[in-house]
Copies of this chain bind each other. A is one copy, B any other.
Amino acid sequence: MADMDWPSCGKSLKGVILDMCGVLYDSGEGGGVAIPGSIEAVKKLKASDLQLRFCTNETQLNREAFVDKLKRLGFDISVSEVFSPAPAAVAILKERGYRPHLLVYDGLLPEFDSVDTTNPNCVVIGDAAEKFSYQNLNEAFRVLIGLEKPVLFSLGQGRYYKETDGLALDVGAYMKALEYACDLKAEVVGKPSPIFFQSVLNDMRLQPHEALMIGDDLVNDVGGAQHCGMKGVQVRTGKYRPSDERHSTVTADGTVDDLAQAVDMILKQRH
């Protein structure tokens, strides 16, 4: 059984990458709540000889504000350990000489302070929530359709997420709308993009087989990591659904109740 086998990779393991929302905490009013055992699990990983990074598709807050939120929940995390789509997008924009038209959440705008946005030659969308108005989406569309070669970057490709008052459309839906209208394919920045996972591996100076990803999203966390050559383990918290364990295309290397159990199994293998 995969569930019994995966911790055996623990012996050769040199680094662990953790998804955040749904693994460390559940989002909700007032910043959400820590998932039981997860604060202690992060502490144990930090006390081990394993490298640790955090990898999130969070795009409603800049990293500083996001890390502050997690510290308030009790986690020992620093900004330099957190990988999120916006800084990855900024690096791509600068490298390729793109000046974006930004359709993102206001809280994310500080991440783009260093980027030239005059006379845009591409569009960047993130989960803009109520900023996804008819006018704003049309404006982004008009920028794209006015370009000789339209280029669209999407910070993640989620379908929807849970808000305190119900489900809400995520950035992926609006990405599809613009892709169809402009007859183009967006470049996704963030999970499950291989470039994004590779940037985390590069930062740890590890090969894929030396790293393990733990997440609650079977396709974007587990499948994305596996696609890069890493192991991928799913937790039964966050957006996990029982049907994930019989998914048609993605099979996790292991499924555990929560982060605490995953960390205990990994560390037990190493001693």
Q: Which residues of A are interface residues toward B (Cβ below 8 A)?
A: 129-135, 137-138, 141-142, 145, 159-160, 166-170, 172-174, 176-183
Contact = CB atoms under 8 A, between A and B. Distances in A.
Given A137-B169, A145-B160, A159-B180, 9 more contacts: A133-B133, A133-B134, A134-B169, A138-B168, A141-B169, A142-B166, A173-B177, A176-B176, A177-B177
Contacts of A176: 176-177, 179-180
Contacts of A138: 168-169
Nearest to A163: B138
A172 B166 contact: no
Copies in the complex: 2
Contacts of A142: 166-167
Contact of A134 (B132, B141, B179): B132
Contact of A183 (B137, B145, B159): B159
Chain A contact residues, majority secondary structure: helix
A167 B141 contact: yes
A176 B159 CA distance: 12
A148 to B, nearest CB: 15
A138 B165 CA distance: 12
A181 B177 contact: no
Contact of A181 (B130, B131, B141, B169): B169
Q: Which of A129, A159, A179 has the most CB of B within 10 A?
A: A159
Q: Which of A169, A170, A183 has the most CB of B within 10 A?
A: A169
B181 A172 contact: yes
Contacts of A134: 129-133, 169
A138 B160 CA distance: 10
